[in-house]
Structure 1
Amino acid sequence: MLCKICKEGLEGIWDPSRSSRLALLKDYLENEDEDDGAGNEPDNTHGSGATDSPARNGAFDYVYGHHKDRDSFLASMQEGCAMCNRFQPGQGLDAGDNPKIQELGYFSVFYLMIHPEAAVTKPVMMVDVENSCGGFDFVPYGDPKYDQNINFDFGQSNYDSKAWSIVEKWMSTCLNSHPQCKLIEAPSSYRPTRLLKIDKPGTFRIVLGTDCPPALQYVTLSHCWGAKPVERLLCLLKSTAEDLGREQSVDNLPKTFRDAVDIARHFDVDYLWIDRLCIFQDSAEEWRREAATMQDVYRNALFSIAALGAKDDEGGCFFERDPAKTAPTVVRFKLTEDGEEKAFRFGLEEGWSWRLSFEHEPLVQRSWVVQERLLTPRTLHFGSKQLFWECREMACCEMHPQSVYCYRDYDVEEDEDEAAEEAGQDRHHPCLWKQLLDAPDRRHGRSPYEQLFVDWNMIVNLYASRKLSVPGDKLVALSGLANDMKARLQQMKPGPHRYLAGLWEETLMDTLVWNVRDPAIRAPEYRAPSWSWACLDGDINLLGGCTQEEDTISLSSPISVEMSHPGEEDTGQVTAGTLTLKGPCGLAEIGQEAGWGVTELNILSVVGEDGRVFHGKDMVRASVYFDTLDDITNQVSLVLVCAHHYDEGEWYVHGLALNRVEENTYRRVGMASCSFKDKESAEAFGAAFPRKELQIV
């Protein structure tokens, strides 16, 4: 959708009473071709591919008012305007005031150009916001070439007949026509420990899995618990078990659970698994036992219901909506004053704008749901604006009922491989789990075995920044995936395959130099050693360090890793972890901010125990990315872990920034990164310091 200001502004360009003409475009742009004072060439495209001079065509000669103030602009972003959301904080909205726009009395302005290279006439809306600008193509509406796989017909709710028709087609297609989904169909004998049994329309009870028929289908529910204390929630407790085991009205359930019952019955399924009602919430022993088998519960379900838009158990799965604020926006205006009015659609509403109604939904922010989505064969998301579907062969939404991966340049021919990738198909190594709607672009390993670790790192990147109601669940909420991963590794290469608090022993030295993108927060109570990303809450990058490529040099070697766990499972909670390394060590003096973030500080010099000094000027760039604001200090110990080729001749040396806890024992506080002009310089830096054996806790 486009906000009212974007839509009405475009449709009113030929009527000054509807769209405010602020200035002649030639006057507004008169200084844009000048050198910027830094020797840079002017950017004539404004990021769009549009011509740098406007068509001399009446309404195209003017600059128009867009949003009057910042609050109005942010409100449109919050509402989901696909145009305004292209300017995210840190990418335009925090760039500082623009006096030129302020003089016109607006926070943002727009003007129009014609795309010079398009096969058909496509207007481009140029938007200037503060010191950022962008050009956005419109495409003709009604042409199958542009509107294939786009649904414009939305109903008044996400559960009306139009919505159910799409859902039923997704389900039928998956169950009957997806070979990859059929490969993972559940064995008929599996039953969870407990299930919610829908006895007849309007009643339910909690039953033991062993009391259920040997062959049954069940669905699972992924939901937000909400902020209410556990004692005020309907849960399976020792005190409620007897009552929940008796047949009673579905009306006794909170709305989200009632809606889930309706969805299950819509597909003629009589059993439902809900964590709060199927696991004792006042038994730590049972919770650990059930968490260790969570992969089986989700993998064997027919599908999972995701209460995407609900903040708590009363939010529900079903939502009323305004179709005009959900469906793609059709804008009608003339390209010439005497011309025919034509209908256009914002190009980026295909293949991109669906994210605006998905990525900010409450359930997506929760840590547990990452595992639940990946393990379940198919997931049906009930969002506040539209429905979404995930399985191994389809990722869809109501706006794009065939595939959300459909954005393309209509003026450029795609080859077969690129077209397959756009369609969400992968011609490389198979995934252990299905591809998530909001997953980052997949990186590819050199072998199926290596691909497992590449995919794991991507999952951690997605998972780490999600929120937990119980901070101690950081590793528990990932344990089902870890168990799944370990089983597949064992199939491919029999061996111990040790899991080390979110990292894997086989790739430990590659992933040990993870970093945080923004200041993280250390867990209030111990849940992982400092060398594991799981000790933090924040945006973690597990992919920015060393790799297993041939142009990587190992500088440190692991001596041992000792882990302690509260139970027999090594994929859940951790009580202690000590990593012993041997590698080049030095003492680094830290300077001021390096400019990329408040926790990235310059390295002024590095001194070895033998007194040898490397100054910052000896390196192209040298800095420490501290894990949290509290970790920042003016001196750290460094252990250099690896060096790898980056681009052209440039090489990076990565290491760990440490604080000493006691003699020869350290705690990680950040990741060090030093760049050099060539391989020889990087190797010389790694060889300059004496090798030392140390422990990191």
Structure 2
Amino acid sequence: MINTNRCTLCQPISLNVIVATGITLPLEPHLTAWQNGLDSRNPCGLCALIYHSLRLGVYWWMDTLLLRYNAHAGAVVVAATTKEFVRTSILPKLLCGEHGEKWFSEAYEYKFKFAYAFLNVNLGIGESKSDSISRRLRSTNPGSDDCLRLARRWLDACTELHGKRCQNVDMNFVPTRLIDVSPKLGRDAVKLVSLLEYDDLGNPTSVKYAALSYCWGTDPFLTTTSSNIRAMQQSISLSQLPQTIQDAIRITRYMGLRYLWVDSLCILQGTDTAAQQDWLSESWKMGQIYQSAYFTISAESAPAALAGILNERPAPSVDFCAIPKSEGDSDAIYLGQHQFSNPTITEPLHCRGWALQETTLSKRLLRFGTREVSWRCSHAEETETRSERQAYPPSNRSIDVEQMAEPTEQAREIYDGWQEIVEDYSGRMLSKKSDKLPAIAGLAGVAQKATGDAYVAGVWRQNASQGLLWMHQRGKQEYARKMEFQAPTWSWASVKGPVRFLQDYFQTTDLVVKFLSSKGRTTEGFHSHYQLSIKGSVLQLSTIRCHQFGSYYGGYDNFLPWGDLCSTLETYLDDLNDIPRRYRRGRKGDPKELVNSCFLFLAESGSLGAGLIILPVEMSHNRYRRIGMFKGFPLKDLGSKQSLRSERAWKLKNHLKRNNDQKKPQTQDVVLI
């Protein structure tokens, strides 16, 4: 709520005076005004704000009110204290420093002499930055003209001022179908169109279009199918569409674009042959569609297509008061209590698997969140409540941003980031389990174009050991390998649930990894019938724990066969039900054992090794399947010539598989399926 009332005492107060010289006033008259204002129907907004900000810290012996400006925080500091304290203490000056909010909280001995609060300085809803004021009030309606005008201003600034970094949109790419939202069709009608037209040189004609990233939800809504596509190409009534798509159409029109891409309308839906073929063709283009969009509308707060984007939001919990920028000025600014932190909100769209690549690949992203509308492009971050927050230097720089990174550096950044991407992505939801690899293929395609590296089923060849060393997130519910075959066992995409990757281990120098033949397309790893050939060290152990997570106690384990396994060893099994019964041992009440498993070493960290736990495939030669991962195996216990010098190493060989008298790791070619 905004209070524009001001009492006689507060009439002379303006922002310019506070900034220029600060204001020092007697506290008693304002205390009286605060008390009188409590019972008034029209209390002074500034007195009420000061009272509620300081009431818990004001004592009867305080006689002075201070108003100062902290330029670093963009806030007014209001304080109640004593005249003597102002003369003798440096704290009032420190409060206006770079970290003013921290000074007094660390000076506990002054808590009875000084009470203070920070008041944010805000412009009106949707106003442009003025002088040093960057905060804005937010509207309760994201569909208001103030909000949409602000969004249009962000887009115009990006296209006109941000230079090549933000102009790198492939205008020659045109999706197979688009939604024509031109007002010429009528206010309440749109239609499905195909714009795959070519110029005299055979190039596609350029088209500016917006794309929508949103949650479908579980309730049915109108989609394009083989049976209704002709009717959709004639006309679609807005009333037939779910609210989220209706709102996206309104936003697209307001932003000055004619075309919108929405997956449910621009890709045939259904189980018939035509729909399946169309999905297979269009899903390969998904990354390119969002990467080439003029901007993307991100419906972050909408949990379903029927929910809508432009819904009323709760009013801010903080009250604001209006004061003039300068004495006699009609333009007002708005003071409100400063909040140094806001609770993090997990938006519904952030839980959707497809949305990760949609929002990551978009050059310009207009986000409609629970709290506010915001903007992200390659040059800047903007929010409804904070204006002109540049993330990068201005576009008049002499260095071409496209040439800033060498290919090797760029590849390393992609590879390092890939594990974080997968960890985020694997915890998200997908309506169709078969989308596990397609929904991230667009990101992989961009990385592959930059690096030239081979990518199969979510794993990069040059960083194979890092991509293969994944495990379940401890504390999460045990996940099962998918019943229907989606990916090879060595891929993180073969399991349902969040994964994390092993850190601080590096690929062994003699490791050789090759991707073998596959069925279907290979560029982005959609299909999953891939095999992995690894030449490395393989060790068979007679027994380890048959638990999702296994730790060992280096001689202090109650179960004797595990007593000689080093305390640094940890084992992670993917799915206990996926392990054949002949490899599991342990009656009711006995320790559960995994027997005769193989350790395939992929990486090392100092004297410790890590790799995959594998089992041989029946009726095959040298073919294995992954069942888990291990780390912390002491490499010194193996020895280059298996020279077992220590007593513990001598005992270790009793746990090695005795078939063929195997007492040391064997270097061999292993094929993982």
Assess if the C-alpha contact under 8 Å between 1:553 and 1:644 holds in 2. no
User: What is the CA deviation profile of residues 265-317 of structure 1, one whole-angstrom value per residue up to 9, with x for unaligned ones?
Assistant: 00111111111111112321221111112222222211011111112221111
User: Per-residue deviation at 1:471?
Assistant: 0.3
CA distance in 1 between counterparts of 2:537 and 2:400 reads 34
Alignment of 1:2-21 (within 5 A): 13=56
- Letter matched to residue 266 of structure 2: C
Conserved? CA contact 1:175–1:181, under 8 Å: no
Q: Indicate if the aligned counterparts of 1:387 and 1:397 stay in contact, CA closer than 8 A.
A: yes
Find the counterpart in structure 1 of residue 527 from structure 2: 573
Match of 1:195 in 2: 178
Q: State the AA in 1 paired with 2:341.
A: L
Distance 1:222-1:142 versus aligned 2 partners, 3 A rule: closer
State the match for 2:215 in structure 1: 224
More off after superposition, 253-262 vs 574-583? 574-583
Query: C-alpha displacement at 1:9, in angstroms?
Result: 11
Q: Is contact 1:197-1:205 (8 Å) kept? A: yes
Gaps of 5+ in 1: 1-7, 17-113, 126-137, 331-341, 406-419, 433-443, 491-496, 594-598, 607-612, 646-650
2:553–2:565 contact (8 Å) kept in structure 1: no
Question: Residue 253 of structure 1 aligns with which residue?
Answer: 241
In the alignment, the residues of structure 2 paired with residue 631 and residue 169 of structure 1 have an alpha-carbon distance, to the nearest angstrom, of: 55
Question: Within 1, Cα distance between the matches of 2:178 and 2:99?
Answer: 57
Task: Kindly provide the CA deviation profile for residues 467-490 of structure 1, in whole angstroms up to 9, marking residues without a partner as x.
Answer: 100001100111222222222224
Contact 1:218–1:270, Cα closer than 8 Å, also in 2:
yes
Residue in 1 that maps onto 2:496: 537
Counterpart in the other structure of 2:226? 238
* 8 Å contact kept, 1:653–1:675: yes
TM-score normalised by length of structure 1 = 0.63
- What does residue 573 of structure 2 align with? 626
Aligned amino acid, residue 478 of structure 1:
I
How far off is 1:504 after superposition? 1.3
State how 1:219-618 maps to structure 2 within 5 Å: 219-228=210-219, 232-282=220-270, 283-325=275-317, 345-349=338-342, 353=343, 356-357=344-345, 360-403=346-389, 447-490=409-452, 497-517=453-473, 518=476, 519-542=478-501, 544=503, 546-547=505-506, 553-554=508-509, 556-558=511-513, 560-567=514-521, 570-587=524-541, 589-591=543-545, 599-603=548-552
Aligned pair partner of 1:691 in 655, 667, 673: 667
- Compute the TM-score of the two structures, normalised by the length of structure 2: 0.65
- Residue 160 (1) aligns with residue 144 (2): yes
Q: 1:572 Cα shift?
A: 1.5
Relative to structure 1, is the Cα distance of residues 448 and 576 closer, same or farther in structure 2, using a 3 angstrom cutoff? closer
Distance 1:118 1:124 in 2: 11
Q: Taking structure 1 as reference, are residues 343 and 243 closer, same or farther at Cα in structure 2, changes over 3 Å only?
A: closer
- C-alpha contact 1:511 1:543 (8 A) present in aligned 2: no
1:530–1:669 CA contact under 8 A, matched in 2: yes
Higher-RCO chain (CA-CA 8 Å, sequence separation at least 6): 2
User: What is the distance in 2 between the residues matched to 1:694 and 1:370?
Assistant: 34
Query: 1:590 deviation in Å?
Result: 3.0
In the alignment, residue 562 of structure 1 is paired with which amino acid?
Answer: L
- Write the letter of the residue equivalent to 2:362: T
Aligned residue in 2 for 1:106: none
- Contact between 1:122 and 1:139, CA under 8 Å: does it hold in 2? no
Cα distance in 1, alignment partners of residues 261 and 414 from structure 2: 29
Q: Which amino acid is 1:486 matched to?
A: Q
Please give the alpha-carbon distance, in whole angstroms, between the structure 1 residues aligned to 2:459 and 2:465: 10
Q: Tell me if the contact between 1:643 and 1:682 (Cα under 8 Å) persists in the aligned partners.
A: no
Instruction: Note the alpha carbon deviations across 1:370-429, whole angstroms, 9 max, x for none.
Output: 111122211111123211222222233324444498xxxxxxxxxxxxxx89x9xxxx99
CA distance in 2, matches of 1:499, 1:367: 19
Give yes or no for the alignment of 1:214 onto 2:199. no
Note closer, same or farther for the CA distance 1:120–1:311 as it changes in structure 2 (3 Å cut).
closer
Distance in 1 between the 2:303 and 2:193 partners? 28
Q: Secondary structure at the match of 1:451?
A: helix
The residue matched to 1:245 in structure 2 has which SS? helix
Please tell me whether the aligned partners of residues 196 and 206 of structure 1 are also in contact (alpha carbons under 8 angstroms).
yes
Local SS of the residue matching 1:466: coil
Distance 2:599 2:319 in 1: 53
Asked if 2 retains the 8 angstrom alpha-carbon contact of 1:302 and 1:377, the reply is yes
CA-CA distance at 1:616 after TM superposition: 6.7
The whole-number CA distance in structure 2 between the counterparts of 1:278 and 1:583 is 50
Pick one of 610, 624, 642 that aligns with 1:654: 610
Which of the residues 619, 627, 642 maps onto 1:669? 627
- The CA distance in 2 between the partners of 1:361 and 1:223, in whole Å, is 11
Cα RMSD for the two superposed structures: 4.6
SS at match of 1:506: coil
**Is 1:516–1:539's contact at 8 Å kept on the other side of the alignment?**
yes
Q: Is the 8 A contact 2:601 2:610 kept in 1?
A: yes
CA contact (8 A) 2:410 2:450 kept: no
Kept in 1, the 8 Å contact 2:379–2:390? The answer is: no
In structure 2, relative to structure 1, the CA distance for the partners of 1:241 and 1:343 (3 Å cut) is closer
CA pair 561-170 structure 1, distance change in 2 beyond 3 A: same
**Which residue identity does 2:531 align to in structure 1?**
G
Cα distance in 2 for partners of 1:284, 1:308 equals: 28
**Which secondary structure does the structure 1 equivalent of 2:612 belong to?**
strand
**Which residue number in structure 1 is paired with residue 118 of structure 2?**
140
Q: Is the 8 A contact 1:306 1:379 kept in 2?
A: yes
Report how far residue 638 of structure 1 moved: 1.3
Distance 1:568 1:640, change over 3 A: closer
